[in-house]
Chains A and B, each alone.
Chain A
Amino acid sequence: MTASRPPGEPRHIAYLYLLPAFAVYAAFLLYPIGRAVQLSLYDWDGLSLGRWVGLDNYLAILSDEGLRAAFGHALVLIVFYAVGPLVIGLALAAILNHAKVRGLGFFRTVVFLPQVIAMVVVAVAWRRVYAPDGTLNTLLGALGLDSLTRGWLGEHAFALPAVGVVGTWFETGLVAVLLLAGMSRIPMELYEAARLDGAGAVREFFAVTLPSVRGEIAVALTLTVIAALRTFDLVYVTTRGGPGNATSVPSYEVYHRAFGLSQIGSAAAIGVTLTVVIFAISFGINRFADRGVA
């Protein structure tokens, strides 16, 4: 935060400019999150008078097997939403930056496309891909891999990874384009110096490219980790948490408990916990990136 301050005297008129935005923001975002904290301390069915239970709803997140599993599933999704796209994205960006590839514009348009498609549409498409008679199994059959075909969303071992792959699918383009933008800003001199030292392509990648895009990596991780933790639409449309509870995730539990089971307090507690986790993770990632740069 060393950027220059705006010029001029302190001005009261600034508050007037802020007022409309702040009013909407406070009423529809700050106040509700305060209310969420309050609701999370009650046992409430949404109709009758709530009963004060203190931190019980939070303790349940630690003790209730189903809820613990939901947060565990979110961690698994992080691997698919964040780590996978980062590794693939680094490879793609390195190729695109290094080799003067023809059709770069087309490629970028294609890999970024999933970002702008409504998640409901994405979910409908992938539900079809994963169906027992869906396109993935058809493809496997055509390749002579009939033994691998299955109902992907219906098997406990495959449902969560299958949902995760959808995350990898729509986040990789974003990460690749982000990293490519960072890499294209690396001065050529750095590469030339490395080459004079006799570095090969691999060492060059680890010695020059990777450190230079540290900031972009932090941004990519922040965006994708938050997206992983917030997965809702996808689960709602594809599996509703099934089979069993194999794909239940915190966001889905918030909705399900509040509006399916009428356990408002528990839902609010999960929501608040999710918010804290998101803040902590993005704060941590950025701290890590800052320290690396300094």
Chain B
Amino acid sequence: MISRGERVANYVILSVFAAFALFPIVTILSAALGPSDSGPTSGLGNLAAAWEIGRFGTYLRSSLLVSAFVVVVSVVLSVMSGYAFGTMRFRGQSALFYLFMLGIMMPSEAIAVPLYFDLRSLGLIDTFWAVSLPQVALSVAFGTFWMRAYFRASNRAIAEAARIDGASSWRILWQVLLPPARPAVVTLTLLVFMWTWNEFLIPLIMVTSESLRTAPLGLAFFQGQHTSGFTLLAAGSVIVATPVVIFYLFLQRHFVRGLLQGAVRD
């Protein structure tokens, strides 16, 4: 069906593109793992040196704390609001839903400026809340949309049966509907984790103390701070990117599905 020439051409095109996709990644990896241009280290020793000099331990810790908080809170809130939108009828339903939809497209640049000045007058700047709550707000917009789509498509008969048995709506949500929703929740968790981990602007503006800096910020500052070579900067990049990449490699299905369906309107 497919000629030999065409097959070869296909492989050539795909290989060229794969090479393009890998080129910057290989650039970083080879610099990070090769002999250092500013010290005696090489290989994994570079990672250790960058970890030490760039204080990545502290940064990863803040990233982890912020991500964990944002993930847990926004997933729980999204499950609840998605449940309401997906299984119940109430006045103002579609207006409220569209209101949430605005948040999916809202650029964080637009809200970051007023948020900064309002939080400053409340004395909340440079706190854990200033960096995490705005990200919860951005995440529940998508989360609500995502969980609503799931609950609408879920099996109503089971929920109805439970209702007739006298189960409260609270119990139906957590004990009947949620267990089979695990894949959808996992996908949401992974996406929110990735967005929070990689977020740059909000932590850049909202926190200034070292103990609250997240990893991408730490890396951006390390770039200016470590002036004597590229190796350790590359090693720092690897450290910052690795957690999400590992999740991606093992749970690729969820990432692809989430990112692709994320914007599909029903």
Contact = CB atoms under 8 A, between A and B. Distances in A.
A250 B107 CA distance: 11
Contacts of B118: 31-32, 35
Interface in A191-232: 215, 219, 222-223, 226, 229-230, 232
A178 B260 contact: yes
A259 B217 CA distance: 16
Contacts of B95: none
Interface residues of A, number: 98
Contact of B249 (A6, A109, A121, A226): A109
Given A6-B152, A118-B241, A226-B105, A32 B114 contact: yes
A36 B108 CA distance: 12
Contacts of B99: 30
A17 B81 contact: yes
A236 B200 contact: yes
A18 B86 CA distance: 11
| Chain B contact residues, majority secondary structure | helix
Interface stretch (A58-66, A88-96, A149-157): A88-96
B252 A46 contact: no
Given A116-B194, A121-B219, A36 B259 contact: no
Contacts of B234: 124, 128
Interface in B67-105: 73, 77-78, 80-81, 83-91, 93-94, 96, 99-100, 102-103, 105
Majority-rule SS of A interface residues: helix
A229 B141 CA distance: 20
B18 A33 contact: no
A111 B18 contact: yes
Contacts of A226: 105, 107
Nearest to B252: A109
A117 interface: yes
A219 B215 CA distance: 31
A128 B31 contact: yes
A122 B144 CA distance: 29
Contacts of B144: 21
Residue from A28, A226, A264 whose CB has the most chain B CB atoms within 10 Å? A28
Contacts of A15: 84, 90
A24 interface: yes
A266 to B, nearest CB: 10
Interface string B1-19: 0100011001101100110
Nearest to B88: A14
A33 B87 contact: no
B23 A135 contact: yes
A177 B90 contact: no
Contact of A233 (B87, B89, B201): B201
B88 A13 contact: yes
A254 interface: yes
Q: Which 5 A-B pairs have the closest CB atoms?
A: A271-B110, A28-B137, A35-B114, A17-B84, A21-B81
7 contacts: A24-B73, A38-B114, A92-B14, A98-B2, A112-B252, A128-B28, A255-B109
Interface of A: 1, 3, 5-15, 17-18, 20-22, 24-25, 27-33, 35-36, 38-39, 46, 88, 91-92, 95-96, 98-99, 101, 107-122, 124-126, 128-129, 134-135, 169, 172-174, 177-178, 181, 215, 219, 222-223, 226, 229-230, 232-233, 236-237, 250-251, 254-255, 258-259, 264, 267-268, 271-272, 274-275, 278-279, 282, 286
